[in-house]
Structures are given as structure tokens and as C-alpha cells.
């Protein structure tokens, strides 16, 4: 069986930074409340003229450079996002155009914040099948464009960004060791956008009611997350034939510091093995674990041979955990 791993990684966040002080001017909140409840101090916000594919393109260029490859070396593009430029056109197809490519397949997957773990699982399988050799996988979100800035419970949570990885066959024993993905499907609107889909197309009334924006039942999300994060991580480690003590680095979905702390406590992972950057970026959905991996590489924390687990949960409700032996 082939070993498939990440050859290069790049990430991009928009230049504009929104601090908690900025939100104090928009809604009835405070830096103290936001920090204590979420762990977030600032987040990056996409420019009005930018779209998700623009961030994807920037991250993709960095990933290709890190892998010392050109766009022509790719044979598939996958973008994990719930905020494509257009609903009827995949962001991956626009990225293909931006990269100057013409015929290679390109498509999006929608798994919410679990998008990168789903994409890694899919890419691993496609390369092992022999159908593809080198895949560009990007996880990206423009969440601030679907955020209601009158809702103080959600508007402080989200930021924008993209992370891209190059997947290809790697040396035996390295790369993706296991993955465990799943879903607990629900239709109660725990984490959703009420209008704009086939169930409820946009109307003047839906726009007036702000139903084009994210709504979230926080307690339900918290209950789901604090249970599924440790469970999925343990299962992925088990599938890799490893013990939790074998783990060198744990990168959880950066959604809420309280969820992260609860999951880490249940997993009994030492704090020095947990990478947290939620304070700088907020929740960038599918991009969070990719951006965190990128920073861990820059800081010399994630190096060749290290065992790393990334775990996420998201709308759907979805979840996923991927265990890797870092390949570069």
C-alpha cells in the first residue's frame, strides 16, 4: 500500500485585522467577555473585493513553492469550503483558471469546519487508488461575508483564511497514517444558514430577517464538540496503531478555547503538545487546522518524523481526525 503525505503547505489570511476593541464599537460586548468565553483576541477579515478563490490562489502558490513544484505538476484540485465565490460554480474551478490550468479535474467538498480532514481522507484514497498522483487540496472560508454583525453571539467568532497542501506519494511509513471521519446528520439548524438553499430560496422577507447569515445554537455545538473531538482523536490514533502517548503534536479545530481545553483534558494531552492560535485568527472553519499546521512549521514545532493529529467538527454535523507522521 502506498504512503501518501503532505509535500508542501501554504496559508493565507487577509491583511485587515479586526480586534475585540473593534467589535465593542459594533455590538454590546467587551474584550474581556470575548476573550474569556472564546479565547479570541483578533481575526482577519477579507476585503470587500476579495472572494474565497482569491485566498485559495494565494495559499496554493505558497504550497507549490514549499513543495518546489509548478501548477503543471498537479492532476487534481479539491477545495473544501462552504463559502464558494458562487453557489453554482465550484471555487476549485476558479482556482484552476487562476493557476493557468485547463483540463485537470477540480471540485469542491462541503463538510464545514471538518473540510480539511475530509479532504485529506479523500485525497489519500484517490492517490492510493492510482488514479491521481499529485493533488492540490485547499481549505478556505470567507465566513465574515455570511456573518450577521447584529448578532453578538456569533459575529465575534469568525475570521477568514485559506490553507493549501500538496498531497502525493511519500516514503513508506510517513504521511497519513489513519483517518476517522463521520457525521451526525441533523436538520434542526444547530449550525446553518436558514435561507438561500433549495429548502428556502432567498426572498425579500428572508433578507429582511437576516436569514442569509450563519445561525448557531451554541450550547448544542459545545455539547457535540466536547464529546466528538476526544472520541474521534482516540479512534484515529487507534486506527494508526498508536497510543496517545505517541502523539507529538495535537492540532484541534480552533473554534472556542473552552472546547479545546475540554477536549485536551479528556485526552490527557500535556499542554506543550497542543497547538493553539485561536487568539490570532478566530474560527476560520475548514482552514483552521491548516493555518495552525503552517504556523507550527514556521515555528519549528512541526518537523519531519513528528506524529501529529488534527481534529475538527463542523456543520452537518460533521467530524474528522487525521493522524500523520510528518513527511518533510
pLDDT in tens, 308-321: 999 999 999 999 99
On whether both 104 and 250 belong to a single domain, the answer is no
On whether both 229 and 99 belong to a single domain, the answer is no
Query: Which residues is 181 bridged to in the sheet?
Result: 320
On whether both 145 and 227 belong to a single domain, the answer is no
What is the count of structural domains for the chain?
2
On whether both 115 and 211 belong to a single domain, the answer is no
On whether both 276 and 309 belong to a single domain, the answer is yes
User: Which residue carries 469550503 as its cell?
Assistant: 81
Please tell me the predicted confidence (pLDDT) of residue 187: 81
On whether both 161 and 207 belong to a single domain, the answer is no
Alpha-carbon distance of 116 to 137, in angstroms, equals 8
Which of residues 174, 207, 242 is at a domain's end? 174
Please tell me the predicted confidence (pLDDT) of residue 31: 97
pLDDT band of 4, cuts 50, 70, 90: very high
On whether both 147 and 270 belong to a single domain, the answer is no
pLDDT in tens, 41-96: 999 999 999 999 999 999 999 999 999 999 999 999 999 999 999 988 999 999 99
**Taking Cα atoms as reference points, which of 20, 294, 17 lies closest to residue 159?**
17
> Which letter does DSSP use for residue 283 in this model?
B
For the question of residue 283 being annotated catalytic, the response is: yes
On whether both 154 and 220 belong to a single domain, the answer is no
Positive or negative, the CA dihedral 74, 141, 174, 62 is positive
For the question of residue 113 being annotated catalytic, the response is: yes
For the question of residue 202 being annotated catalytic, the response is: no
On whether both 110 and 183 belong to a single domain, the answer is no
Which of residues 123, 157, 174 is at a domain's end? 174
Please tell me the predicted confidence (pLDDT) of residue 1: 81
Query: Can you tell me whether residue 328 is helix, strand or coil?
Result: coil
On whether both 164 and 36 belong to a single domain, the answer is yes
On whether both 197 and 166 belong to a single domain, the answer is no
C-alpha gyration radius of the chain: 19
pLDDT in tens, 7-36: 999 999 999 999 999 999 999 999 999 999
Alpha-carbon distance of 164 to 123, in angstroms, equals 13
DSSP H stretches of helix in 39-78 = 52-67
Share of the chain above pLDDT 70, in %: 100
Residue-averaged pLDDT of the chain: 97
pLDDT in tens, 94-124: 999 999 999 999 999 999 999 999 999 999 9
pTM passes above 0.95? yes
Which of residues 149, 174, 199 is at a domain's end? 174
Q: Of the residues 20, 56, 229, 253, which is catalytic? A: 253
Please tell me the predicted confidence (pLDDT) of residue 188: 85
**Taking Cα atoms as reference points, which of 174, 185, 163, 184 lies closest to residue 4?**
174
On whether both 98 and 224 belong to a single domain, the answer is no
Alpha-carbon distance of 273 to 245, in angstroms, equals 10
pLDDT in tens, 144-196: 999 999 999 999 999 999 999 999 999 999 999 999 999 999 888 899 999 99
Whether the pLDDT of residue 243 is over 90: the answer is yes
Q: Of the residues 20, 56, 155, 283, which is catalytic? A: 283
Q: Of the residues 56, 93, 113, 229, which is catalytic? A: 113
* Domain CATH code at residue 108: 3.40.47.10
For residue 36, the enclosing domain spans 3-174
Amino acid at each position: 500500500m502506498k504512503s501518501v503525505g503532505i509535500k508542501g503547505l501554504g496559508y493565507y489570511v487577509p491583511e485587515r485585522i479586526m480586534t475585540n476593541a473593534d467589535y465593542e464599537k459594533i455590538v454590546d460586548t467587551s474584550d474581556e467577555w470575548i476573550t474569556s468565553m472564546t479565547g479570541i483576541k483578533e481575526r482577519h477579515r477579507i476585503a470587500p473585493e476579495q472572494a474565497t478563490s482569491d485566498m485559495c490562489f494565494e495559499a496554493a502558490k505558497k504550497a507549490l513553492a514549499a513543495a518546489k513544484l509548478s501548477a503543471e505538476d498537479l492532476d487534481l484540485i479539491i477545495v473544501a469550503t462552504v463559502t464558494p465565490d458562487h453557489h453554482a460554480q465550484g471555487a476549485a474551478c476558479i482556482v484552476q483558471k487562476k493557476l493557468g490550468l485547463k483540463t485537470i479535474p477540480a471540485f469542491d467538498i462541503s463538510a464545514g469546519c471538518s473540510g480539511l480532514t475530509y479532504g485529506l481522507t479523500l485525497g489519500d484514497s484517490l492517490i492510493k487508488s492510482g488514479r491521481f498522483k499529485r493533488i492540490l487540496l485547499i481549505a478556505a472560508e470567507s465566513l465574515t461575508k455570511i456573518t450577521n454583525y447584529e448578532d453578538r453571539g456569533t459575529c465575534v467568532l469568525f475570521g477568514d483564511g485559506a490553507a493549501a497542501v500538496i498531497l502525493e506519494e511519500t516514503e513508506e511509513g510517513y504521511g497519513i497514517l489513519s483517518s476517522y471521519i463521520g457525521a451526525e446528520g441533523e436538520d434542526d439548524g444547530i449550525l446553518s444558514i436558514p435561507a438561500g438553499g433549495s429548502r428556502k430560496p432567498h426572498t425579500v422577507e428572508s433578507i429582511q430577517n437576516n436569514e442569509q447569515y450563519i445561525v448557531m445554537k451554541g450550547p448544542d455545538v459545545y455539547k457535540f464538540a466536547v464529546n466528538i473531538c476526544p472520541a474521534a482523536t482516540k479512534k484515529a490514533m487507534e486506527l494508526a496503531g498508536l497510543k496517545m502517548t505517541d502523539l507529538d503534536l495535537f492540532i484541534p479545530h480552533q473554534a472556542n478555547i473552552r472546547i479545546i481545553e475540554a477536549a485536551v483534558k479528556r485526552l490527557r494531552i500535556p499542554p506543550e503538545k497542543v497547538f493553539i492560535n485561536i487568539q490570532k485568527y478566530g474560527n476560520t472553519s475548514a482552514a483552521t487546522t491548516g493555518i495552525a499546521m503552517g504556523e507550527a512549521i514556521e515555528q519549528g514545532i512541526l518537523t519531519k518524523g513528528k506524529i501529529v493529529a488534527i481534529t475538527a467538527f463542523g456543520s452537518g454535523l460533521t467530524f474528522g481526525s487525521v493522524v500523520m507522521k510528518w513527511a518533510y
